[in-house]
Amino acid sequence: MSAIADKAAIVGIGATEFSKDSGRSELRLAAEAVRAALNDAGLAPADVDGLVTFSMDNNTEVAVARELGIPSLEFFSRIQYGGGAACATVQQAAMAVATGIADVVVCYRAFNERSGYRYGQVSSALASAPTSSGIDAGWSYPMGLGTPAAQVAMIAQRYMHVYGATSEDFGRVSVVDRKHAATNPNAFFYGKPITLAEHQSSRWIVEPLHLLDCCQESDGGVAIVVTSVERARDLPNPPVIIRAAAQGSGSDQFVMTSYYRDALTGLPEMGIVGEQLWSQAGLAPEDVDVAVLYDHFTPFVLIQLEELGFCPRGEARHFIADGALEIGGRLPLNPHGGQLGEAYIHGMNGIAEGVRQVRGAAVNQVEDVAHVLVTAGTGVPTSGLILGAA
């Protein structure tokens, strides 16, 4: 057991609507999401003494604190590496609470990622940054590899070659996400399930990835309120205990382009996260009732299942083939629809879904949920959580 396992709890979640054009500032989205999360927690802005977000978020902690009228902050922190930060923001909060550095910490992420700056396009700013990241980008962007889809496709192609996985195997992830989104009124793709045939006939983005292997782009914000387990007992929602929280980065790690390791068929950084999660919580993959796995691109959902120990390497396509990921299956995946179906809020909407599943309050509720596994962005240094009931 680690020093932070079972010390902190998620007591509030909040979000804006998920759209393609919010029509308002990113700061307003952040402020709305944080206020909604505090309302859900039964807390006031004056109770907050810590804020955590992504280094990619455009809203500073002080700006958010100003808008909310938070009188003072004693802890603020940011996590690097894009969507890999999602669960690590909650880890930061849990560490701050467990050590007594902070009492109530809100994690937030808000952006106009569809109507404003789109991550799916080529980032010329990153490629020209005079930093170690800019130097790294110089080994891929000038060669034409410059979008997240392309960066993932390179590993997906190798994975297919080595293990015999097919585009249809990837498509099954998309189909199950969209099936779940279809019955989630908050999902952008509410009421719009897809078939495997539609996945197969969708246009190429970067072979071997079809359009329907790639998650949507979204505007919106999500916030998560973390406090101590003791304080959580006095708040209105059933506490959702942070059973484990971990970050991971692997050998010879790059951001999205870790192509120089021995194999190109895994996500070792997620394996490192997984080992810590199981160890902290004293749990094993078979104890997980719901998996909220980061799904910006379908192939990495299969590889995550392998890295996290749900199945042996190369066998995820068999693991998922018989409806295992559907509600009622062996391992219900992304009951909210994931980022492919609900919204792309850089993984934070997945944490909120994990909270709802533990509370028993999700729109697509899985029965008798004791433990939910949530993961953050893949292909980058990443993070994960195990959430459980008190």
Q: What residues act catalytically? A: 294, 344
Return d(Cα 220, Cα 17) in angstroms, integer.
Answer: 6
Binding mask 249-288 for another protein (x = CB under 8 A): ---x----x-xx---x------------------------
Rounded to a whole number of angstroms, the minimum distance from the CB of residue 263 to another protein is 11
Lookup result for tokens 């393609």 = 20
What tokens appear for 159 in the block? 């994975």
Q: Which is nearer to another protein, 29 or 303 (CB)?
A: 303
Restricted to residues 223-252, the positions that interact with another protein (CB under 8 A) are 252
By the rule CB under 8 A, 207 interacts with another protein: yes
Rounded to a whole number of angstroms, the minimum distance from the CB of residue 150 to another protein is 5
The backbone torsions φ and ψ at residue 310, rounded to the nearest 5 degrees and listed phi first, read -75, -25
List beta partners, residue 245.
385
Q: How many CB atoms lie within 10 A of CB 207?
A: 11
Rounded to a whole number of angstroms, the minimum distance from the CB of residue 317 to another protein is 18
From 44-52, 144-152, 279-287, 341-349, span contacting another protein (CB under 8 A): 144-152
Q: Which is nearer to another protein, 205 or 212 (CB)?
A: 205
Residue 149: strand, helix, or coil: helix
Q: Is 96 exposed, middle or buried (0-12, 13-18, 19+ CB in 10 A)?
A: buried
By the rule CB under 8 A, 137 interacts with another protein: yes
By the rule CB under 8 A, 173 interacts with another protein: no
Return d(Cα 213, Cα 204) in angstroms, integer.
Answer: 9
User: In 347-381, where do the E strands start and end?
Assistant: 371-375
Helix (H) or strand (E) holding 193: none
Evaluate whether 153 touches 208 at the Cβ level (below 8 Å). Answer: yes
Amino acid identity of residue 65, one-letter, is A
Q: Which is nearer to another protein, 159 or 310 (CB)?
A: 159
Binding test (CB under 8 A) with another protein, winner from 45, 116, 134, 314: 134
Binding test (CB under 8 A) with another protein, winner from 3, 74, 101, 142: 142
From 176-184, 205-213, 226-234, 283-291, span contacting another protein (CB under 8 A): 205-213
Q: Which is nearer to another protein, 86 or 145 (CB)?
A: 145
The backbone torsions φ and ψ at residue 323, rounded to the nearest 5 degrees and listed phi first, read 80, 15
What tokens appear for 310 in the block? 């749900």
Binding test (CB under 8 A) with another protein, winner from 147, 216, 249, 357: 147
Residue 374: strand, helix, or coil: strand
Binding residues for another protein, rule: CB under 8 A, are 120-122, 124, 127-130, 134-147, 150, 153-155, 157-158, 161, 203-208, 252, 257, 259-260, 264
